[in-house]
Amino acid sequence: MKRRKLKRGWMLALCAAAIVPLAAIPLGWFALTDAAMVGQTRDQKTPYTSIVPTGDDYYLLRQLNTRVELAARGATRSLYEEGDEMAGMYLSGASYIEDMTVADSSMQQYLQDVLDSLSYGRVLPSEWLATIRAEIGYWGSQIYYSTDTLGFVRLAAFGGENQEICLLDLEVESLTGKVVSLWASTEETHPIDVGNTLLAWVELNELDGLGDWAVPVGTDYEQSGLYSQNGQALMTCATGMDDSIWTQLGRSERHYFSLQLGPRDLEVSQ
């Protein structure tokens, strides 16, 4: 009996002696491979790339991309054709006075606050804001608005004897409250500082995280724009003559101020 116990004890000890070194095999293996690796260089097959923000990371740019894509489709075909998917229906908002809605006092206040926010944000120069307000006041213009199905709100004011002059056309993305375009036609003009205006607008639109806003050298927008390759987005600020209105004396000599943010794929000179 005692001998059997002793035999079992020996067996257990033998098993333990066999198993314990086995458990150490991985440790030994790693130690050996690590030792073999030390001092060697190896190329990585997939190079490391840092995470770069894109336009899709920004709600505002996603909305603008979708809007331009759907509006472009609508420009060449019917809104809806048999066989189309239900998703992706886009209705643009009215642009002409006869199809727009007269703004009530709350919408008028909204416009004033949006203009103020642009001015406080150093995007709309205060003298331009004063001139725009003076024009609207001079013509006693009502404010009109319309909406599209993606949530952009257009606010507009018209002047002239037959409301033929578009004094102001401003579009706001309603969820974020960011202005995406502004057009003003005035009798007076003022100088603008394109570079600083656009930098301020990048900040106001919270798009500075794209990190690569730069003058699009070698493109049509070299004098008027800032471009983000990461976001595939272009911002422009321009002024010039608005001679589109005909009066009894010939073409009117008005001036325009334009801001626009939109998707764009540009080849910029290096």
Partner 1 sequence: MTKLRKALGLALVPVLLTACGQNAPAATPETADTAETAVTWTMGNLEPLPWANDRGYYFLEFHSFDGNGRWPYYLVSRVDFDTGEVTPVCNKPGCSHDGTDCLAFSDINYAEDTIIPMEDGSVLLYHQADSTEVSQDKQEQYGYYLDYEEARVVEYPGEAGRKYVEAVYESAGQPSYVDRISADGLTRERLAVLPDDLGTYLKCWDGQALYGSLLSGNLDIITENCGVRVGLDGKVSYFDLPDPYYTEVLSGCGPYLLLSHTSSPVDLRTMYLYGNYNAFYTLREQADQECWLYDPVQGTTQKLDLPHENLTNFVGMGDRIVYTAVEDGEQWIYIYDLTTGETELGIQGSGSMIIKLIPAVGRQPRYVWAYPQGQPALVDIDTGNWWTSDELMEMTGLDPGRYELGNALCETRDGRLLLQLYDMSRIPTENVYTTIPSPALTEGLNLTQQALEEEARLLEKAAEGVDVPQEVAEP
Sites of contact with partner 1 (CB under 8 A): 18-19, 22-23, 25-26, 29, 45-46, 67-68, 71-73, 75-78, 81, 92-96, 148, 152, 154, 166, 169, 171, 180-181, 183, 185, 220-221, 223-225, 234, 236, 238, 240-244, 256, 258, 260, 262-264, 267
Of the pair 52, 72, the CB lying nearest partner 1 is at 72
Of the pair 143, 180, the CB lying nearest partner 1 is at 180
Nearest to 239 by CA among 188, 196, 166: 188
Nearest approach, Cβ of residue 33 and partner 1 (Å): 8
Q: For strands 233-242 and 225-228, give the pairing.
A: antiparallel
Structure token pair of residue 42: 């190896």
229-255 burial by CB neighbour count: b if 16+ within 10 A, else e? bbbbbbbbbebeebeeeeeeeeebebb
Residue 149 contacts residue 71 (beta carbons within 8 Å): no
Nearest approach, Cβ of residue 143 and partner 1 (Å): 15
* Long-range interactions of 248-257: CB distance < 8 A, separation 24+: 252/165, 254/165, 254/185, 254/186, 254/187, 255/185, 255/186, 255/187, 255/188, 255/189, 256/183, 256/184, 256/185, 256/186, 257/128, 257/132, 257/182, 257/183, 257/184, 257/186, 257/189, 257/192
Nearest approach, Cβ of residue 258 and partner 1 (Å): 6
Of the pair 51, 75, the CB lying nearest partner 1 is at 75
Of the pair 120, 188, the CB lying nearest partner 1 is at 188
Of the pair 106, 162, the CB lying nearest partner 1 is at 162
Nearest approach, Cβ of residue 197 and partner 1 (Å): 13
Of the pair 8, 73, the CB lying nearest partner 1 is at 73
Task: Give 112's DSSP letter.
Answer: H
| 217/231 Cα distance (integer angstroms) | 17
Q: What is the CA radius of gyration of the chain?
A: 33
Nearest approach, Cβ of residue 60 and partner 1 (Å): 14
Of the pair 181, 230, the CB lying nearest partner 1 is at 181
Residues with Cβ within 8 Å of 186's Cβ and at least 6 positions away in sequence, in order, are 128, 131, 132, 135, 167, 254, 255, 256, 257
Nearest approach, Cβ of residue 59 and partner 1 (Å): 17
Nearest approach, Cβ of residue 157 and partner 1 (Å): 11
- Other C-beta atoms lying within 10 Å of the C-beta of residue 59: 13
Nearest approach, Cβ of residue 188 and partner 1 (Å): 17
Of the pair 119, 258, the CB lying nearest partner 1 is at 258
